[in-house]
Structure 1
Amino acid sequence: MNTESLGTIFLNASLVNNFVLAYFLGICPFLGVSGKMETATKMGGAVMFVMLISSVCAYGIHAFLVVIDAPYLQLISYIVVIASTVQLVEMFIKKMSPALFQSLGIFLPLITTNCAILGVALFQTNKGYGLLESVVYALGAGVGFTLALVLIAGLRERLTFAEVPSISKGTALTLFIAGILSLCFMGFAGLGA
């Protein structure tokens, strides 16, 4: 059983140990969907929802696998839950907002392979979190993921109007910004003590 407070768990997951900017998990949607603020926020919401559902399911699956003494099925079970949840989210977005479905493109089904979501399930299990702690951890990780997406999307939108040397346009500038954001988030490391 873990003795951290819920606030500490949330802050650690969202700021101190941000999955994108500290662990470098989920870089594909971070770089691919962060061109526009609107798309970034909606992708962040979709990832947060999948993280929450996967976290609750991972807690239940882990408890069940411990009872039947089959912990070797943990990883494959988590992957199946994540893939199923992403399919539900994809069908919901396609039905409710075809424009958003088009703007997210290939990155929506790629949530299935987003290692940040699998990381949440595995990290919460390894830390021995209970159900409420797991939900708070997943919510914090989702907020941190969305925050990283929104920050880089805002910077990229602003830089479309700036005069940037041709040598650093495009991907080079995006990676440079991501590196600076990562360094900024390293400043939160003191909060984790």
Structure 2
Amino acid sequence: MLEHVELFFKSIFIDNMVFATFLGMCSYLAVSKKVSTAVGLGAAVIFVLAVTVPMNWLLDQYLLRDGALAWLGPEYADYNLSFLSFILFIATIATMVQLVEIVVEKFSPSLYNSLGIFLPLIAVNCAILGGSLFMQSRDIQTLGLAFNYGISSGIGWFLAILAIAAIREKIRYSNVPAPLRGLGITFIITGLMAIGFMSFGGMLTGGDDAPKKEAKETAQKAQDKEVKNEIDENSVSYNNALNK
């Protein structure tokens, strides 16, 4: 139980997708001009993460990782299909995003029109793929923890875009210096919010196991950084392919 609670709060505040790893910034900046639009996109991200992370955990456990096919028989125990991770993860994500798009268009046409192209682009949102890859790199052991991580990561992204949308609505009535208007002041506020969210790290540390936890977290951050760089490289390649 304690493991679930710790993972939940760490994923929302300390390892927030936006403020800790800066994933999903395109949608975060483009759809955060209105609170109503931000709420709709944030809810869609929560749903997609809550479904795709557990589904991809099952794929990883019973199909992709080294020895995962042992349940088919001893002759399959040596197979390693981890090279298919990106393809299968993205296929799962694209399927769920298509489902979300159909549901939103059916029941909330106004929200569908306000989100525009950014609703189908959830499929290539770095935060969505990052949730599944971080789940894989952190070696989450149970389906319940995978579902917990998907929900909490989505809530963290939702809080980030909701907070910046509320602030940007208020900034319209503020006397912001001309060179900083628009994305300039938004980036500054995002940086300050990231510092605030990172300060929650002190709430989940301490006690006799603090040195061990600190070393483990340092190693985990290094691994997360490698995963993020890999995600960014794939995102750049995808965008270059679209431009061509």
- Assess same fold via TM > 0.5: yes
Partner of 1:126: 137
Distance 2:106 2:151 in 1: 25
Structure 1 residue 192: Cα displacement: 4.0
Partner of 2:233: none
Q: How many residues align?
A: 191
Q: Does the aligned pair in 2 maintain the 1:39–1:104 contact within 8 Å?
A: yes
Q: Which has the larger radius of gyration?
A: 2
Q: Which blocks of at least 5 consecutive residues in structure 1 are unaligned?
A: none
Task: Show the 5 A alignment for 1:43-192.
Answer: 43-65=41-63, 66=65, 67-68=68-69, 69=79, 70-129=81-140, 130-192=142-204
* SS class of match (1:5): helix
| Structure 1 stretches of 4+ moved >2 Å | 66-69
Deviations 1:6-53, CA, capped at 9 Å, x for gaps = 000001100011010111111111101111111111110000000011
2:30 aligned with 1:32: yes
Structure 1 residue 160: Cα displacement: 0.9
Distance 1:191 1:122 in 2: 26
Distance 2:197 2:23 in 1: 14
Distance 1:5 1:101 in 2: 37
Matched-pair identity in %: 37
What amino acid does structure 1 have at the position aligned with 2:164? I
What amino acid does structure 2 have at the position aligned with 1:49? F
Deviations 1:165-185, CA, capped at 9 Å, x for gaps = 212111111111111111211
Structure 1's 4 and 79: CA in aligned 2 closer, same or farther, altered over 3 A? Answer: farther
Q: Does the aligned pair in 2 maintain the 1:16–1:192 contact within 8 Å?
A: no
Q: Which blocks of at least 5 consecutive residues in structure 2 are unaligned?
A: 70-78, 206-244
Structure 1's 7 and 48: CA in aligned 2 closer, same or farther, altered over 3 A? Answer: same
Distance 1:91 1:75 in 2: 24
Structure 1 residue 4: Cα displacement: 6.5
* SS class of match (2:20): coil
Looking at both structures, which has the greater relative contact order when contacts are Cα pairs under 8 Å and sequence separation is at least 6? 1
What amino acid does structure 1 have at the position aligned with 2:146? S
Structure 1 residue 76: Cα displacement: 0.9
What amino acid does structure 2 have at the position aligned with 1:29? S
Identify which of 1, 5, 8 aligns with 1:10.
Answer: 8
Structure 1 residue 59: Cα displacement: 1.2
